Structure 1
Amino acid sequence: MMLYIKNMVCSRCKMVVKSEFEKLGLHTISVELGEIELESEISDEQRKELLQRLHLLGFDLIDDKKSKTIEKIKNIIIDLVHQKNNDLKENLSEYLSKNLHQDYNSLSNLFSEVEGTTIEKYFINLKIEKVKELIIYNEMSLTEIAYSLNYSTVAHLSKQFKKVTGFTPTYFKQLKIKKRKQIENL
């Protein structure tokens, strides 16, 4: 049985959600971003208890097809930005179509309709939040950050950063209070 979970955005989320399933005695086959495969069906009572536990942790079960598709799009993009952005050798549209086995235009229209923003803007916002994170860590130069997030140049990264935040990356680095957004709020 497959269950789809909203707001699973990182490996820690996977660990927390898996732990909650185990506490309820539900055995998982696999745990991926936004998806849990169980060995067997769950009862209505287990589902109700699971929902309560997930809500307390900021997660939710997804039942309708549109929401599942949106969550899959988000999880693919999150994984791409945080794990394998430099591996992207094709357009984002091709990458999503290939991974979801659907036409990009229908994915794009659905995403825009439900989320009120485009897939591209969502992708850019995630990348900018990752740039902020890397700037705050102060372990990489802007050149290294640009390369790691698959920007063609530092100038391109800087232009996009300023367009989204209103600041240059250098100015952001100098700020005393660095504001970042949580992924689930993008």
Structure 2
Amino acid sequence: MTLHIKNMVCNRCITVVDQELTKLGLHVDKIALGEVSLKEENLSESQLHQLDDVLVRNGFERIDDRRARLVESLKNSIIKRIHHSDRVSRKFNWSDVLADEAHLEYNYLSNLFSSMEGITLEQYIIRQKIERAKELLFYDELTLSEIADKLGYSSVAHLSAQFKKVTGLTPSELKKSRTVDAARKPLDSIS
């Protein structure tokens, strides 16, 4: 049985969900961002109710709707590429990659995402990149040029322009203000 889970966006989330499922006596076959395969083929209504209660208590939600699962899958794919990989290539074409993964036309995905999330896929990708940039600025291990390169920006100017548009500050201003940590958002609340 496969479960689709909303807000499961990081390795810590995977660990929490895995532990909670084990406590419920369920057997995880495979677990990844937003998705869990159980060895059990079916769950009783009582088990599903317990599962939903545990998930909600931990900030997650089981997704039954096919369209909602698709949007969550898009978000997880974007988060994985931006936050859990070494580098986003400048030649990376989000529309091609997302369409190929979903086996659907990008226009359909884009319209569905916008209607369900209230922002475009492009805006969501930009906001995730800016959130990653804030995280990298907080760690203070990379130069702005290295951060721009890591996130697939063509230049520091391009990164800085998008950063200012989203946050109201340039990366340098945010770093100088020492509010980088306070300005960071949980990945599941970016919209």
Q: TM-score, normalised by structure 2?
A: 0.94
Query: Is 1:185 equivalent to 2:185 in the alignment?
Result: no
User: What is the alpha-carbon distance in structure 2 between the residues aligned to residue 173 and residue 92 of structure 1?
Assistant: 29
Task: Name the residue aligned to 2:178.
Answer: 176
Range 122-131 or range 175-184, more displaced? 175-184
1:84 Cα offset (Å)? 2.7
Moved over 3 A (4+): 87-90
CA–CA separation in structure 2 for the residues paired with 1:46 and 1:140: 47
| 1:55 paired to 2:59 | no
Q: What amino acid sits opposite 2:33 in the alignment? A: L
For 2:179 and 2:160, how far apart are their aligned partners in 1? 19
CA–CA distance in structure 1, aligned partners of residues 29 and 103 of structure 2: 23
- Determine the C-alpha separation between the residues in 2 that align with 1:90 and 1:167: 26
Q: Is the 8 A contact 1:85 1:150 kept in 2?
A: no
Query: 1:4 is matched with which residue?
Result: 4
**Aligned Cα RMSD in Å?**
1.2
1:30 is paired with a residue of what secondary structure? Answer: strand
Which residue of structure 2 lines up, in the alignment, with residue 112 of structure 1? 114
| 1:36-185 map, 5 Å | 36-40=36-40, 41-84=42-85, 86-88=87-89, 89-178=91-180, 179-185=183-189
CA distance in 2, matches of 1:48, 1:17: 15
- Structure 1 residues 149 and 129, CA gap change in structure 2 (3 angstroms): same
Identify unmatched segments of 5+ residues in structure 1: none
- Percent sequence identity over aligned pairs: 47
- Displacement after TM superposition at 1:176 (Å): 3.2
Q: Secondary structure at the match of 2:152?
A: coil
Scaled by the length of structure 1, the TM-score of the pair is 0.96
Q: 2:127, 2:166 within 8 Å by CA — same for their partners in 1? A: yes
The answer (yes or no) to whether the contact 2:88–2:150 under 8 Å persists in 1 is no
Q: Report SS of the residue matched to 1:86.
A: coil
Question: Whole-Å Cα distance in 2 between the matches of residues 28 and 51 of structure 1?
Answer: 16
1:62 shift after superposition: 0.3
CA–CA distance in 2 between the matches of 1:144 and 1:17? 34
Q: In the comparison of the two structures, how many residue pairs are matched?
A: 186
